[in-house]
Amino acid sequence: MYGKNGIRQVIQMHPKDNVLVALTDLEKDTIVEYENQQYILQDRIKAKHKFYIEDLTIGAEILMYGVLIGKVQTNVKRGSLMTTENLKHAAEPYSYRGVCYHWQAPDVSKYSNTSFNGFYQNNGQVGTANYWLFIPTVFCENRNLDVIKEALHNQLGYAVSDKYLRYTQDLLLAYQNGENLDSINISLAATSSSNRIFKNVDGIKFLNHQGGCGGTRQDANTLSALLAAYANHPNVGGITVLSLGCQHLQVQQLVNDIKSQDPSFDKPLYIFEQQETESEEQLIAHAIKHTFEGLILINKRERKPAPLSKLTLGVKCGGSDGFSGVSANPAVGYASDLLVALGGKVLLAEFPELCGVEQNLIDRCVNESIAHKFIHLMQSYDELAHKVGSGFFMNPSPGNIKDGLITDAMKSAGAAKKGGTAPVVDVLDYTEPASLPGLSLVCTPGNDVEATTGKAAAGATLILFTTGLGTPTGNPVCPVIKVATNSVLAKKMSDIIDIDCGPVISGEKTIEEMGEEILDYCIKAASGIIIPKAVQLNQDDFIPWKRGVSL
């Protein structure tokens, strides 16, 4: 298991597995010892990749994480590298079996007196931030939102582009003076929030999108439900809506959806329709003025202690690698179990990345109705993909494959670890809000931004986003915390990574220790003590899902 330098060489994710994962680069002909067995490597095995631990013939089933992840396409020898040429995706069929699932909750006694400082809404929800939100009902208003964003962000202290403006100015001055541009360096100093006018307003956010007209009326209906969910989000203190007037998504539909989701809705809501105003200038001026008045209002809100049961944690992975299911995802899964044991909510999404672990999730469903809803959503989604010549099996990206995720079932088995081991209390379709404490499954694509967009709509007040390759994804209203699977990435992309799970790979920390560290970070982020990198950088990605094929 350990090489001559004392570094862990390999790991087996489940006793049933017939592959081992390389934790470090291993050269061909290296003799690897694991569990009283010796393996002579037939190929060079790079870290994150896998090798077979027995001779296998065509059609042999490969297990990892204890589940079927593929079938061998050529005869392979013990110690040989797993590749896309010798292994193809395969997954077990699934059905409702009426299993009575028993969960052993982790010990949470150390958190018995722990709370976070959040923003209370009048409906009892508690946010981890206090944002003002701009919503366009149609893409025609995006340009007006951009103008307003530039004005408000620059004047009220929410811009993060100052250092790039200064850099451009320095380049311009050097060019005008005939100087060498290579001598100009960008200042890496982070933009300070000390110049913010409204100290209790964490940001002004804008939901630019490409919908609201054209497409189908069903697209407009889904978009309306999504935008309404964002207006009702616990992290949102007030909303400004910009409408053209003639689009499919009418203002009244959006207002009806907002109040349908929360009949007690009482946040400041300002609506401006361009075709009812004298000019674009008037529209923008009125929107800025009323929003400024709203900011004064929500700035009076203050953080107050709240129990951890008021947290809703979304769990997501993107830019995944062969270590995702070894370190970061299981550690996030343990943090998820801790929060569930404390009465909080956890949201596990990305249905294309649950392919191959359906049976485990079905067996964990608390009742038959929830299980059948999950089965229906999974099958409908996969059938839609097959109708256009695709399928869940085509989910891994080139980057995933290059770094050790060979099949979708392998990727899914590791991805599902983010949800821990708690029972599944609910299954939510896209834009449905989470209402029950515990673990819920949320139907979204695997696409990073579409998934985080849907997760926030379900009510996530923090998102834990694991990555092995690095991704700058964030969300406008839900702080996104980046969790690296390995220390190389954490150091290389330290400007976007918040937590390093590399110590799990090296053996310095256990999954449980790392999970507690992650939850501790979440509590500080929920209280505004720590600002995640994605929030600092204004990584406000928002892509509505049209319910088409997106893996």
Report the pLDDT value the prediction gives residue 279, as an integer from 0 to 100: 95
Taken in order of first residue, the domains within the chain and their CATH numbers are: 10-89 (2.30.130.110), 131-158+196-300 (3.40.50), 313-536 (no CATH)
Report the pLDDT value the prediction gives residue 193, as an integer from 0 to 100: 59
pLDDT digits (tens, 9 = 90+) for 86-97: 999 999 999 999
Report the pLDDT value the prediction gives residue 306, as an integer from 0 to 100: 98
Report the pLDDT value the prediction gives residue 546, as an integer from 0 to 100: 84
Instruction: Kindly indicate the confidence band of residue 392, based on its pLDDT and cuts at 50, 70 and 90.
Output: confident
Task: State the Cα–Cα distance between residues 243 and 464, nearest whole angstrom.
Answer: 33
For 189-235, where are the E strands, in sequence order?
203-206
pLDDT, average across residues 359-382 = 95
Cα 498–504–510 angle (5° rounding)?
A: 110
Say how many C-beta atoms besides its own lie within 10 A of residue 2's C-beta: 13
Task: State the Cα–Cα distance between residues 421 and 86, nearest whole angstrom.
Answer: 32
Q: Which residues of 125-148 are buried (b: 16+ CB within 10 A; e: fewer)?
A: bbbbbbbbbbbbbbbbbbebbeeb
Report the pLDDT value the prediction gives residue 436, as an integer from 0 to 100: 98
Report the pLDDT value the prediction gives residue 215, as an integer from 0 to 100: 83
Residue 153 confidence (pLDDT) above 90: yes
Residue with tokens 């009418």: 250
Report the pLDDT value the prediction gives residue 404, as an integer from 0 to 100: 82
Residue 395 confidence (pLDDT) above 70: no
543: CB partners within 8 A, 6+ apart = 209, 447, 449, 450, 453
Task: State the Cα–Cα distance between residues 95 and 365, nearest whole angstrom.
Answer: 12
Percent of the chain whose predicted confidence (pLDDT) is above 90: 85
Residue 151 confidence (pLDDT) above 70: yes
pLDDT, average across residues 380-409 = 81
Report the pLDDT value the prediction gives residue 6, as an integer from 0 to 100: 53
pTM over 0.75? The answer is yes
What is the enclosing helix (H) or strand (E) of 219? Answer: helix 217-231
217-231 vs 448-457: helix crossing angle, rounded to 10: 60
The full length of the chain comes to: 551
Q: Which residues of 75-107 are buried (b: 16+ CB within 10 A; e: fewer)?
A: ebebbbbbeeebbebbbeebebeeeeeeeeebe
Residue 2 confidence (pLDDT) above 80: no
Say how many C-beta atoms besides its own lie within 10 A of residue 439's C-beta: 30
Residue 220 confidence (pLDDT) above 80: yes
Residue 210 confidence (pLDDT) above 90: yes
Instruction: Kindly indicate the confidence band of residue 217, based on its pLDDT and cuts at 50, 70 and 90.
Output: confident
